[in-house]
A and B are shown apart, each in its own frame.
Chain A
Amino acid sequence: MFIEFKDVSFKYYGNEQNILNQLSFSVEKGSMLAILGHNGSGKSTIAKLIMGLLEPTSGEIFIEGEKLNEKIVDTLRQKMGIIFQNPDNQFVGVTVKDDIAFGLENHQIPRDEMIRKIDEFAKLVDMQDFLNENPENLSGGQKQRVAIAGALAMDTDLIIFDESTSMLDPKGTKEINQMIQTLRKNYQKTIITITHNLEEALNADRVIVLNDGQIVLDGTPKEVLKEEAILEASGLKLIDGISLINMIQNYTIRIKNKEEIIQALWELTFKM
């Protein structure tokens, strides 16, 4: 078990209302969890709690079996990387190379190995031709890719994607989503993606949907993403393919090849 939330509630000091209300969920090592919710549903607060940037008002958070508290937060934080929404807010280096090197330097890695690793990670995120470029001159998608290479360089076990595609164009979004799959398969990273794009939850092992600080749905993508009424009530909208499946299932007149069409729509949606 990589992360476990036990009855976690959170409210800001002096506020009446809880932002998160009695959340319990867990994330297995090497798995991918998608947290869905509309803007303001409290989903980004979860990321801040995991990173130890906020403390639960009540309840407990465990990271690899250890209870998250002030004493160990610095040690635990080294296991985590986060990719933020705004690609402009996360650079430390003046060149792409420096930025990736920053994480490696923190781990006191010998120079030869460092050069080899920078190349490896830059190649992985397809930024090997931009090593001497200033990150400021890159497109949004390229910036996010450099940030991912930075997280890899820090050798974190967990990478949190906090709305990290919401400012990107469709091409950038697709690239980041493909990269997430590579991080899982080839680097066995644990992934948490926080998003309001239902498409991004399709590849997760588990999906939770948040509304008003509470978990309203919890299950596999196939189970969760077809719950039209609850998703709508949570400010989200069905993916077109799944919406069509629901429309076909609710249609009372006979449809030719009905079951085959439904099956094919699932497959096509998951391939997208």
Chain B
Amino acid sequence: MGIDFQNVEFKYSKKASKKQLDNINLHIDAQDEFIMIVGHTGSGKSTLVQHMNGLLLASSGTIKVFDTNMIRSKKIKLKPVREHVGLVFQFPEYQIFESTVLEDIMFGPKNFGKTKDEARELAIKAAHLIGIKDDILERSPFTLSGGQMRRVAIAGALAIDPDILILDEPTVGLDPKGKEELMNLLVRMHEETHKTIIMISHDMNIVATLAKRVLVMDKGKLVYDGNKENLFQNQTFLKTHNLDLPTASILAMGLKEKGLITYGKLPLTKEELFQVITGDIPNE
């Protein structure tokens, strides 16, 4: 179960010479994964995730999403696929349109054939999961802050109760506190529900703190699939694929170069670097 990619290739047209996805092989579990997808702009990150819920279909190769073979055919049913895999776009708050927060979150489940009462129940559950308090459920979404609106949009995807939730740069444009709150909520939701989270991000500090598994895309190819520790240790690889280091790692390397600290394993977070500097556990 989950998502399987085998030799997947995608081009916008048969004649196109450029492969947007090039020989992708990948398995994603239906539970407990926290995957972050990185790569510079245009590397194929968004194209990849759009294949995971049938927004795009492969030009060749096979994709299986839960029980569905994702083939180009009139008979393919995308509804069950989208009940398993929810996708939240960039700036999802632009797609909010209902007059109250609750109605907006209920739209998804209603669309999937739930009764009004069922949809309401699912919506309230989803709202709680992503930290939306009851007192704003009856408010107009357009009176909310950017960070709150984004949570409403994410709750809309969660209300369908997907096994896997994909988010395309969920923190972009949020201020530092909004960013931190949203990431904490997503982590808490993941720990409570065991849903697999797949997140596209450019923020290496978030990757260094939270990712259980990292996928690196470059020119349509999946060039890395593994843990963050091995990824950030490999300077040559990062340079080849235009990837930044987390801030703490850059600072650590600078301090080491000046002969002020020594370490075996490169620190990835501020807390790890502090531990190296003090030889102790951070007192936060």
User: A residues touching B (Cβ–Cβ < 8 Å)?
Assistant: 38-40, 85, 139-141, 166-167, 169-172, 196-198, 232, 235-237, 239-241, 243-244, 247-248, 251, 253, 255, 257, 260-261, 264-265, 267-269, 272
Contacts and interface: CB of A to CB of B under 8 A. Distances in A.
B282 interface: yes
Given A240-B247, A240-B270, A272-B247, A264 B176 contact: no
Interface of B: 40-42, 145-147, 172-178, 180, 202-205, 242, 244, 247-248, 250-251, 254-255, 258, 260-261, 270, 273-274, 277-278, 280, 282-283
Contacts of B273: 244
B41 A169 contact: yes
8 contacts: A38-B177, A140-B41, A170-B204, A236-B175, A239-B247, A240-B251, A247-B270, A268-B255
A44 B248 CA distance: 31
Nearest to B174: A39
B147 A39 contact: yes
Nearest to A166: B173
Given A253-B278, A265-B255, A169 B270 contact: no
B277 A248 contact: yes
A83 to B, nearest CB: 16
A75 B8 CA distance: 59
A250 to B, nearest CB: 8
A261 B244 CA distance: 23
A190 B248 CA distance: 32
Contacts of B280: 253
A253 B258 CA distance: 22
Given A243-B270, A244-B274, A255-B278, A167 B172 contact: yes
Nearest to A251: B278
A237 B258 contact: no
Nearest to A199: B247
B130 to A, nearest CB: 18
Given A240-B251, A272-B247, A39 B175 contact: yes
Contacts of B146: 39-40
A240 B248 contact: yes
| Most chain A CB neighbours (cut-off 10 Å) among B172, B177, B180 | B177
A170 B175 CA distance: 15
A255 to B, nearest CB: 6
Contacts of B180: 237
